[in-house]
Amino acid sequence: MFEAIHSPLHELKHPSLRVYVKRDDLIDPYISGNKWRKLKYILAKALHLKRTHLVTFGGAYSNHLIATAAAAARSGLQSSGFVRGEEVENDTLFLCKLYGMKLIFISREAYKDKYGLFKVFFGEDPSAYFIDEGGASAEAVRGCAEIIQELPGDVDHLFCAAGTGTTAAGLLKGIRQQHLNTQLHVVPVLKGGDFIAGEIYNYTKNIEQLNLHTDYHFGGYAKTSPELLQFMAGFTAREGMLIDPVYTAKMFYAIEDLSKQGYFNPGEKIVALHTGGLLGILGKKQQLSASISSPGTL
């Protein structure tokens, strides 16, 4: 299922910057972007250990839950997902259930102890395999590091959005493995994103080429604003490329805003990693509809 694949590199129609997008969103409709990269070696390890039941965690609109459910179904495995918060029904969770995932709704307080939950619910099940929220693991870092091998060696700036920092850690590890001068720019999508530097350091032990941009969370995880949604609508209409309000829209907004501040030197090559997660659009359908009539710019 996780055979070698190289996603394409597309140039944006930016009037003054050389901005390219690594289209990992095109890898798979449901195991897309960084989810495909992360689960590649996680699933390989689970199969090696002869585990047949994947157990993971996420919010009600978690793309990771869908990706894990799809990966399990395609591999002939069972899957269960702990869902943070009150029991709800939405398109995301419908797809999880359609792929055969058993959903377990957990209070936000109890959700904080993921290992404890796994032990209580599945501690007696020798087939169960723990997968952390977002796939955070050394295996996920390894998978994301391979992205660098698919990029040209003359990239000056590489951007990615971040929730846990796992994808960013992989990118930085890949940059260092290839001995590149590329600067990695990470856009945390939640408040207080400075902690991500520590998470990345735990995996790489070197963050000299890391640049955090913590002012583009728009209120916190899964939070938006009319300005961001208007920008997102304009970007999609112009580029013909879907982006999501939780991760990638914030990253592209950051690139545009930094450009306006004169952050980049003329002629520098910028690559933005499209990490997929497009189902996040479904949670903002009504707000986005109001933004379509007045699209923003890039």
* Tens-level pLDDT at each residue, the chain (298 residues): 667 678 999 999 988 889 999 999 999 989 989 999 999 999 999 999 999 999 999 999 899 999 999 999 999 999 999 999 999 999 899 999 999 999 999 999 999 999 999 999 999 999 999 999 999 999 999 999 999 999 999 999 999 999 999 999 999 999 999 999 999 999 999 999 999 999 999 999 999 999 999 999 999 988 899 999 999 999 999 999 999 999 999 999 999 999 999 999 999 999 999 999 887 776 666 667 766 655 444 4
Strand spans (E) along the chain? 9-11, 18-23, 53-58, 78-84, 102-106, 128-130, 157-162, 183-188, 210-212, 269-274
Those residues whose C-beta lies under 8 Å from the C-beta of residue 103, and which sit 6 or more positions away, are: 80, 81, 83, 93, 96, 97
pLDDT of amino acid 291: 67
pLDDT of amino acid 295: 47
Residue type for position 168: A
- 133-171 burial code (b ≥16 CB/10 A, e <16): bbbbbebbbbbbbbbbeebeeebbbbbbbbbbbbbbbbb
Residue 160's nearest CA partner among 135, 186, 195 is 186
Residue type for position 272: A
Domain architecture of the chain: domains with CATH: 9-29+139-291 (3.40.50.1100), 36-135 (3.40.50.1100)
Tally of CB atoms within 10 A around 131: 29
Greatest Cα pair distance in the chain: 59
Answer for the pair 74, 99: CB distance below 8 angstroms, yes or no: no
DSSP for residue 224: -
pLDDT of amino acid 238: 92
Stated pTM of the model: 0.92
pLDDT of amino acid 284: 66
Task: Decide: helix, strand or coil at residue 160.
Answer: strand
DSSP for residue 121: H
